[in-house]
Structure 1
């Protein structure tokens, strides 16, 4: 069991203002994984004070970009060396299958390397032919608020570019995954990050809102639900805070008539059911041509029935439990809703997998004959419930894919790369993969419509943490 009794504030381990404790329980068997202090408003005030002092009086904001890059590069090496250790800790906290956390944690060194490449090439100071000088300066104090489903990826995609730009950062960790967040603190100290630049504070929603509304916070970087993102954007607008939001999704996978169905189904498995389907970019609407619907359904049924569910620490299990009981009940309520709406359930259902009743488990579930107007096709479920929607022709498929309030991700499968690209260009979403291609950390990621504002990764993501100043001489 991992126990923290202090908060990481400005690079120092500080006693919390109260004795309130967050307990982290295993989603698999409810055993106690660890405990950590729960940050209160008084702790947030201290973190903001320290961050403000570091930004206004410290060395980090005025340090040469190359010096900041050297510190982040050292942290990246230290973090990569502990990738598997962190993967196991995160799995014990949130129930993500170990094969998934291992792959994701192993990829984060490249995520940070992409930011380092961008920082090296970034125009921190540009001299125009007119004689004007354009400076890219840090925004100030950044509040980074992250969810529990991919905690280190969500944290580093924000705090790394923010710090590379010279900002001070307060990371608000989710209560479900406080242990892995606090465990990063000493790595930043070992890398040589100056005191005051980074704080890590686990807290619940009320204190999180107190942080983002704090008058000294200049920029909010948030990943989470669309409902919470709207609330943050609305409140931030009153204070003219800078905001970037990576929110929900209900992304479509379009299976074209010429696609190799076995290849497409294998791709759908990883893009739809990976990480227990608890991730925003999951392709949870699968659009299938009517002319081959029965054939594709057969392949999908075989795939879903073959998904192994159980202890997420077992590398052989593809799926683990939902993060907590409330999420389990939410997902089951959507399964019940889908049945009531008239969709045909072909795999899975409401019964908890046999032998796993103690955990927060939900069967991988597949609905067929779904109409895109149904709530199970329009609302983000954030669990292993996938819907198959028939379409008549390519124009109909594109119309259905775009008939959504979300626009975060998408996928197209086709025997023709050119045809797949043609369809991908017409889907109104922030990212599209053709035939299951791997995403690049150099390329921007974010959403259209209710899937968010702004982009993360690479040079564009780095640019979200600077203010531009023009000096005319």
Structure 2
């Protein structure tokens, strides 16, 4: 593929990075450089924020009619549908995720646009009954201002849309900084935003490295930060946001447990467990990286898992028949292999995988789907987020023990429960410390359902109607329709 040089999208214009500074976009499949992304300077980040502020205030985007915002959101959704093949292909080119998964995720972006277009037209406050005579009190929701969105490399457009759709629908302006490993898909989405007719400055994209994101977070013109990424970085962002008392939404790491009881169809549960960890090569915050299995079915379940895992088709993620692609970037690839070594050193039993496939070139970032058995929940491999295709099998004896093990982590993003017992399913789900719990399924999300974590898995929620509250402030308005104030020192008089 011929390299293409991209530009920054700032204030509705495509601008060259200062000094022509760019960085390589490298394919995780073969190590080739396929695009050159622009590296925004501090001055260009400042420009993006200032123009976003201007679009929000002077350009009156925040006061645009809800029907106008909804109209533009629907136009964007339609353009996404028209360009879904290319948007999906570019994301796979960037991070090695399966085209069979990414295509569906990309098509769903349009549904997010349509859903939040509807919410833009139905966002309302309340009329509050007061225990005071002749007073009308009502609330309205107003946008927070300029939103900084910092997105990861594992699902670049999906996790951007989780922020973008409600932020724009509510009337905010945005400056987006995508991961340096997956910047091109976001720049291509910006092309569609431009075609849809959003006012200049409402949506801006600045690309670069960690320093780019840091400069955006530090900018005094930002009113809210929406971040998806590691817990370590999320804590730093929260600290900086706290010092300025600005809002944050943080969707961070996980070490989610998939609990398999002894009353299930083991074949079906195995399919669910494998989908929860290997479908995206383990590179999802909600990955079910710990499989807690009842001791009475542990050996049989482990055997089924290994047999199914060793039949997984690994290869070119652009091919529909492929079932697992690559790790997205070299640093993450090295991290995954390091954790596999750590698991061995800790005494976990390698049941399958654990290395680069024999067919893979040195430049490629393929890692075999890996399962470790007889893992103790105190091991690092069970407590720390690997973010790769590595599954830990942990046996348990009782329901209480399963819940205790599942909750024994600093994370609290998601969990799965596999049982035919309806009472047990509800009981266990109610006691799991996780923002999302799936029963007899796994790794399902939808624009209408809230998603987010507790403990060190984050703050706030994305998706669902309540997300509009994350991007708005409540203004309380009082109207006196009775007698004028007679005593200025006694407002009740």
Q: Establish whether TM, by shorter chain, passes 0.5.
A: yes
Counterparts of 1:456 and 1:212 in 2: how far apart (Å)?
19
Per the alignment, residue 357 of structure 1 pairs with 362
Per the alignment, residue 352 of structure 2 pairs with 347
Root mean square deviation, CA, Å: 1.4
Per the alignment, residue 189 of structure 2 pairs with 184
Counterparts of 1:2 and 1:111 in 2: how far apart (Å)?
31
**Contact kept? 1:287, 1:388, Cα under 8 Å:** yes
Counterparts of 2:264 and 2:358 in 1: how far apart (Å)?
33
C-alpha offsets along residues 440-464 of structure 1, whole Å, 9 cap, x if unaligned? 3211100010000000002111210
Q: Say whether residues 1:64 and 2:65 are aligned partners.
A: yes
SS of equivalent to 1:170: strand
Q: Say whether residues 1:403 and 2:404 are aligned partners.
A: no
Per the alignment, residue 260 of structure 2 pairs with 255
Distance 1:449 1:198, change over 3 A: same
Per the alignment, residue 24 of structure 2 pairs with 23
Per the alignment, residue 465 of structure 1 pairs with 471
C-alpha offsets along residues 339-361 of structure 1, whole Å, 9 cap, x if unaligned? 11011000011344434433011
346-355 or 378-387, which moves further after superposition? 346-355
Shift of residue 117 of structure 1?
A: 3.5
C-alpha offsets along residues 6-60 of structure 1, whole Å, 9 cap, x if unaligned? 2111221122223110211110101122112111111101101101111110121
Per the alignment, residue 137 of structure 1 pairs with 142
Counterparts of 2:331 and 2:440 in 1: how far apart (Å)?
35
Per the alignment, residue 485 of structure 2 pairs with none
**Contact kept? 2:452, 2:462, Cα under 8 Å:** yes
Shift of residue 318 of structure 1?
A: 1.1
Q: Say whether residues 1:322 and 2:327 are aligned partners.
A: yes
Counterparts of 1:12 and 1:159 in 2: how far apart (Å)?
19
**Contact kept? 1:456, 1:462, Cα under 8 Å:** no
Counterparts of 1:141 and 1:42 in 2: how far apart (Å)?
17
Per the alignment, residue 251 of structure 2 pairs with 246
Q: Say whether residues 1:127 and 2:133 are aligned partners.
A: no
Counterparts of 1:417 and 1:314 in 2: how far apart (Å)?
39
Per the alignment, residue 80 of structure 2 pairs with 79
420-429 or 258-267, which moves further after superposition? 420-429
Q: Say whether residues 1:444 and 2:450 are aligned partners.
A: yes
**Contact kept? 2:87, 2:185, Cα under 8 Å:** yes
Q: Say whether residues 1:380 and 2:385 are aligned partners.
A: yes
**Contact kept? 2:445, 2:451, Cα under 8 Å:** no
Per the alignment, residue 133 of structure 2 pairs with none
Counterparts of 2:441 and 2:117 in 1: how far apart (Å)?
27
Counterparts of 1:91 and 1:10 in 2: how far apart (Å)?
28
276-285 or 102-111, which moves further after superposition? 102-111
Counterparts of 1:359 and 1:392 in 2: how far apart (Å)?
41
**Contact kept? 1:115, 1:458, Cα under 8 Å:** no
Query: TM-score, length-normalised on structure 1?
Result: 0.97
2:279 to 236, 259, 274: 274
Q: Say whether residues 1:103 and 2:104 are aligned partners.
A: yes
317-326 or 253-262, which moves further after superposition? 317-326
Counterparts of 2:108 and 2:423 in 1: how far apart (Å)?
29
Shift of residue 416 of structure 1?
A: 2.8
Per the alignment, residue 424 of structure 2 pairs with 419
**Contact kept? 1:122, 1:459, Cα under 8 Å:** no
Counterparts of 1:359 and 1:32 in 2: how far apart (Å)?
12
C-alpha offsets along residues 326-380 of structure 1, whole Å, 9 cap, x if unaligned? 2111100000000110110000113444344330111110000000010000000
C-alpha offsets along residues 176-197 of structure 1, whole Å, 9 cap, x if unaligned? 1111111112211221211111
Counterparts of 2:423 and 2:110 in 1: how far apart (Å)?
32
Shift of residue 136 of structure 1?
A: 0.5
Counterparts of 1:353 and 1:377 in 2: how far apart (Å)?
27
SS of equivalent to 2:205: strand
Shift of residue 128 of structure 1?
A: 2.2
Gapped runs of 5+ residues in structure 1?
A: none
Distance 1:269 1:111, change over 3 A: farther
**Contact kept? 2:375, 2:382, Cα under 8 Å:** yes
Shift of residue 400 of structure 1?
A: 0.5
Gapped runs of 5+ residues in structure 2?
A: 131-135, 480-493
Of structures 1 and 2, the larger Rg is shown by: 2
SS of equivalent to 2:447: coil
Query: TM-score, length-normalised on structure 2?
Result: 0.93
1:197 to 189, 197, 202: 202
Distance 1:159 1:439, change over 3 A: closer
164-173 or 6-15, which moves further after superposition? 6-15
Shift of residue 236 of structure 1?
A: 1.1
